[in-house]
Amino acid sequence: MTTDVIRQITDRIAPEYEQIFPRETTERIVVESLNTLTEQATVTAWLPTFAERFARDRLRALAKNEHLFDDERPAVLFLCVHNAGRSQMAAGLLRHLSGGAIAVFSGGSEPASEINPVAVQAMAEIGIDITNEFPKPWTNEVVGAVDVVVSMGCGDACPVLPGKRYVDWELEDPAGKPIDVVRRVRDEIGKRVGDLIAVLGVEPRSV
C-alpha cells in the first residue's frame, strides 16, 4: 500500500483516538493491519476499507485493555481456521441477535482470502448480511479485550490467555459444502449463539 493510503486511513481514524493514543500509535496499527491483510489478499480492491475496519477493531481493543475506553458491554471472539464460514456466521448472528449489546469479534488461525459465498447466501436467507465481512487473523489486542473466546475447530492454534472463558463448539466445517449442509451448520450456530446471549444476560432479538 502507498503512503497516501496509509495517511488517508490514519487521518480518518486518528481524531477518534487523539485523547487516548498518539497519532504514531494509530499509524503503526494501520500499517500492521494493511500488511497483514495484504499477505493473504488475492483481490485488493477493498483492501484499504478492510484494513481500516481491522485497525479500528484493534485500536478499540487496545484501548479497552489499557482501561482507556469506556465500553462495559460483554465481548465475544469467534475463532475458526479460515474465518470464512463458521466464525463469520456466528459473528453475524450474535451482532444481529444482541442488537449491539455485545461487542463481537472474529478471527482465524489461517485466514482465507475471502468469505465463503455459500455462507453468505445462507445468512442472507435469514436476513443477515455478511457480504461486507472479511477473513482476518486473531490479534493479541482483541483476545485480551474479550470476555469469551469461542473456538470452532482451530484447535491448538487458538490463543489461550488467563482470565478468559473458553468455549469449544464442535461444528461441521462448511467449506466446500452445498447450501443444505451450510444451512444446517448455520442453524446449529444460531442455537448456540442464543444460549450464549442468555448466559451473558442480554435479551435477544428475533432473526
- Kindly state the cell numbers that stand for 144: 485480551
Q: How far apart are CA 10 and CA 202, in angstroms?
A: 34
Catalytic, 191? Answer no
CA atoms within 13 A on the CB side of 65: 18
Q: What is the enclosing helix (H) or strand (E) of 59?
A: helix 47-65
Catalytic, 154? Answer yes
List C-alpha distances in Å: 173 to 43, 80, 127.
Answer: 24, 9, 22
Please tell me which residue in 30, 94, 158, 189 is annotated as part of the active site.
158
Please tell me which residue in 154, 171, 185, 202 is annotated as part of the active site.
154
CB 80 within 8 A of CB 152: yes
Please tell me which residue in 37, 80, 91, 102 is annotated as part of the active site.
80
Enumerate the active-site residues.
80, 154, 158
